[in-house]
Amino acid sequence: MTLSALIFDVDGTLADTEEAHRQAFNLAFAAAGLDWHWDQNLYTRLLSVTGGQARIGFFLEQSQRPALADPHIAELHKSKTAFYVEAMQAGRVPLRPGVERLLCEARDQGLTLAIATTTTPVNFQSLIESTLGRAALDWFAVIGAGDCVENLKPAPDVYLWTLDRLGLEPSRCLAFEDSANGLKAATAAGLATIVTPCPYTKDHDFTGALSVHDNLDEPERVDVAFLRQLHGRL
């Protein structure tokens, strides 16, 4: 089966955004007058839950703090998103090594690009605009984001949604992820998956991945020829 498309997760995969997310959460908490602070160790644990609003709810439950009504959590998350977008627009988060190169190579060689993420569309848009420019949003034939499906990763829904709109069978695509939840979602959708762990996910279990790399440039260059070779073995 011919390789036709590459489907990318966003946070931790295209860029090491998780630290920017953590800082944005803390800024939102402070702006709301809350005495919460998520350090890196706590945030690593909280990343077991996908979706920012669900993560806040999980934090309240685990820390035995009083629950917040859904509208209050949504407002807090909206504030967090504003702080995150501000960080993106300031150019504080670059793409990971090899990402821009692979995206350009894939386009040049006729592969379709798509996104399957649990982050919000505005978060994805701000990252792409700040790193590749506004025109690069058109590089992606389908953008499956957190508002497209009800069940977030590790459920396969966003990948199934993306595949449906691409009109492609999973066997003609490869997915790119950085986390165990993302890997579970992609493989549950029938996608062979390349994993590039980020600092927050480096200790995850990636059993079932097609291949695992520190990044797309090291220790070996992940290019279109390499991907076609991997895909051809499936």
Where are the domains positioned within the chain?
5-16+94-232, 18-89
Rounded to an integer, the average pLDDT of 7-29 is 96
Please determine whether the domains at 5-16+94-232 and 18-89 fall in the same fold group of CATH. Answer: no
Does 3.40.30.10 match the CATH number of domain 5-16+94-232? no
Q: Which residue has the tokens 């990636």?
A: 206
Q: How far apart are the C-alpha atoms of 211 and 202, rounded to whole Å?
A: 14
Q: Could you tell me which of 147, 58, 159, 79 has the C-alpha nearest to residue 114? A: 159
What are the tens digits of pLDDT across the range 54-84? Answer: 999 999 999 999 999 999 999 999 999 999 9
Residue 176 has pLDDT above 90, yes or no: yes
Residue 95: beta bridge partners?
A: 15
Collect all residues with Cβ–Cβ distance below 8 Å to 145 and sequence separation of at least 6: 115, 117, 118, 119, 120, 121, 124, 158
What are the tens digits of pLDDT across the range 187-206? Answer: 999 999 999 999 999 999 99
Report pTM: 0.91
Q: Output the DSSP codes for 164-202.
A: HHHT--GGGEEEEESSHHHHHHHHHTT-EEEE---TTTT
Rounded to an integer, the average pLDDT of 104-118 is 97
| Cβ atoms 163, 185 nearer than 8 A | no
Fold of 18-89: DNA polymerase; domain 1 (1.10.150)
11 is catalytic: yes
Residue 134 is predicted with a pLDDT of 96
Q: Above pLDDT 70, what percent of the chain?
A: 100
Q: How far apart are the C-alpha atoms of 125 and 1, rounded to whole Å?
A: 32
What are the tens digits of pLDDT across the range 126-156? Answer: 999 999 999 999 999 999 998 899 999 999 9
**Sheet containing 211-212: order of strands:** 140-144, 112-116, 5-8, 173-177, 192-195, 211-212
Q: Could you tell me which of 200, 202, 207 has the C-alpha nearest to residue 46? A: 200
Q: Which residue has the tokens 């709301």?
A: 32
108 is catalytic: no
Residue 115: beta bridge partners?
A: 8, 143
